[in-house]
Amino acid sequence: MKGKTILKWISNCLSTLFIILLVCAVLIVISSRAAGGEPSLFGYQLKTVLSGSMEPEMPVGSIIFIQLAEKKETFKSGDVITFKTKDDILVTHRIIEVQDSGQRFITKGDNNNGPDVEPVLAQNVVGKYTGWTIPYLGYALHFVNTKQGAVLMLIIPGLLFLGHAIFTIWRTLRLIEVPKESNLKEE
């Protein structure tokens, strides 16, 4: 009897876990699509580190948290900012010099030999790095933002949940059939 109680408890935990996983996957995919491919969490955007220019603080494949910029002129030397280049590429580098009363910034990757060629205009700053980095999770986030990744993030948890539901129904039907067989033997 104790074994059945443990199995029932494990089954309930798995069901809850699958439901949570499915809901989280749906929320991640929907929020990243609604935000133009940029997932956000509690007001912070998540960015994937694609180059080693800020290593070792931000290893390639990490996720960094960016606080969206509201007052772009408040950045100072030493701040790490994410900005758009003239080619609409997002870059995260450290400010090494503030020019024109905070309207332009000279930036440099910590792992680069020299400063960036083009100064960053204040209106091109997307946000400020919060100091939070999650190593290696960026590879998964980058994959989720592809069409194949979005489909897999919805299909895999759904299939796991469906498989678990089928197993639970099968087990319940088996338990219902056992008493019927025992009633036939008694007659």
Catalytic annotation, residues: 51
Cis peptide before 56 (omega within 30 of 0): yes
Which residue has 């930036």 as its token pair? 107
Other CB atoms within 10 Å distance of the CB of residue 171: 13
The token duo for 171 is: 């087990």
Residues 68 and 43: beta-carbon distance below 8 Å: yes
3-class state of residue 174 by DSSP: helix
CA distances from 147 to 23, 40, 152 (A): 19, 18, 9
Q: Which helix (H) or strand (E) holds 71?
A: none
The token duo for 112 is: 């680069």
> Read out DSSP for 122-179?
GGGEEEEEEEEEETTHHHHHHHHTSHHHHHHHHHHHHHHHHHHHHHHHHHHHHHHHHH
